[in-house]
Amino acid sequence: MTIFESIILAIIEGLTEFLPVSSTGHMIIGSALMGLQSTQFVKLFIVAIQLGAILSVVVLYFKRFFQSFDFYFKLFIAFIPAVIFGLLLSKKIDALLESPMGVAIALLAGGIILLFTDKWFKNPTIDDSNSISYSTAIKIGLFQCISMIPGTSRSAATIIGGMTQKLTRKAAAEFSFFLAVPTMFGATAKKLYDFYKEGYQITSDEIKLLAIGNIVAFIIAMLAIKYFITFLQKRGFVIFGWYRIVVGVIIIALLLSGHELSMI
């Protein structure tokens, strides 16, 4: 992996981590289009640079992270399902990461759902993510588990999960951002543990690539979060739905026409 390739992937991560379009799916596709080899470091990089993106949440919502112990407990409760299912299904998830058709189908299916999301959840009653109950937190956490299918989108799953519990688009999006912090931190920690457990070592050049990737992802994610909340309140999910459908259809068409996309 070159510095240029690491920057491209970091930009993709920063732009898509908090949008309902699947950051992992886009990075897998980006890796395939750039012809990156399926190395252990590339797999680690795609997970590890999510740390940079989630740090943007901590910076932008700094005060919210120090309001009350209750806030952390709700995040912990919502995080539990991902821990359980992630550990139980880790091998199957890794297998799905290597399926371009699977990513394309998930993008397409999720896009169709987003076209109708605004109509399905018209009358929200909770406009503050701090006001959600513990039962709501665990339900949103269960929705997050759906995003373990590459191409689904953690953001889309958790925001829709929140909206099913009467949260406004803004409140659901903010709780999704907060939940990303322990989720992505845990995913990165596990990936690093597995990387070293299997006997691999990170070189000085790879450390440099990870540092650059996280810095770029952090900056881009800061901008993406600021504009996403405003856009979501005004326009809703339809444009994201159509975007996912177009991308999914293009990938499926390429695969069916004989083009090979070598996934990570």
Q: What are the start-end ranges of the H helices in 1-126?
A: 3-16, 23-33, 40-48, 50-60, 69-88, 90-96, 100-120
Please report the pLDDT score of residue 97 as a whole number: 63
**Structural domain contains residue 136:** yes
Please report the pLDDT score of residue 259 as a whole number: 66
**Structural domain contains residue 244:** yes
Please report the pLDDT score of residue 44 as a whole number: 82
Alpha-carbon gap, residue 44 to 264, rounded angstroms: 10
pTM across the whole model: 0.84
What is the chain's Cα-based Rg? 18
Would the CA dihedral through 253, 256, 257, 260 be positive or negative?
Answer: positive
Residue 69, Cβ density class (10 Å: 0-12 exposed, 13-18 middle, ≥19 buried): exposed
116 within 8 A of 159, measured Cβ to Cβ = no
**Structural domain contains residue 232:** yes
Tokens encoding 214: 């996280």
**Structural domain contains residue 13:** yes
**Structural domain contains residue 107:** yes
Please report the pLDDT score of residue 94 as a whole number: 65
**Structural domain contains residue 261:** no
Please report the pLDDT score of residue 227 as a whole number: 86
Please report the pLDDT score of residue 147 as a whole number: 84
Closest CA to 179 of 90, 67, 82, 111: 82
**Structural domain contains residue 224:** yes
Would the CA dihedral through 241, 166, 19, 145 be positive or negative?
Answer: negative
Range of the domain at 249: 3-256
Please report the pLDDT score of residue 98 as a whole number: 65
Alpha-carbon gap, residue 25 to 13, rounded angstroms: 10
**Structural domain contains residue 222:** yes
Tell me the average confidence (pLDDT) per consecutive run of 10 residues in the chain, 264 residues long.
91 89 79 78 83 88 79 90 82 68 89 92 82 90 88 90 91 89 84 81 89 94 87 86 91 80 52
In angstroms, the Cα distances linking 82 to 89, 102, 133, 208 are: 10, 20, 19, 30
Q: What are the start-end ranges of the H helices in 99-203?
A: 100-120, 134-146, 154-164, 169-197
Q: How many domains does the chain have?
A: 1
Please report the pLDDT score of residue 264 as a whole number: 47
Please report the pLDDT score of residue 39 as a whole number: 79
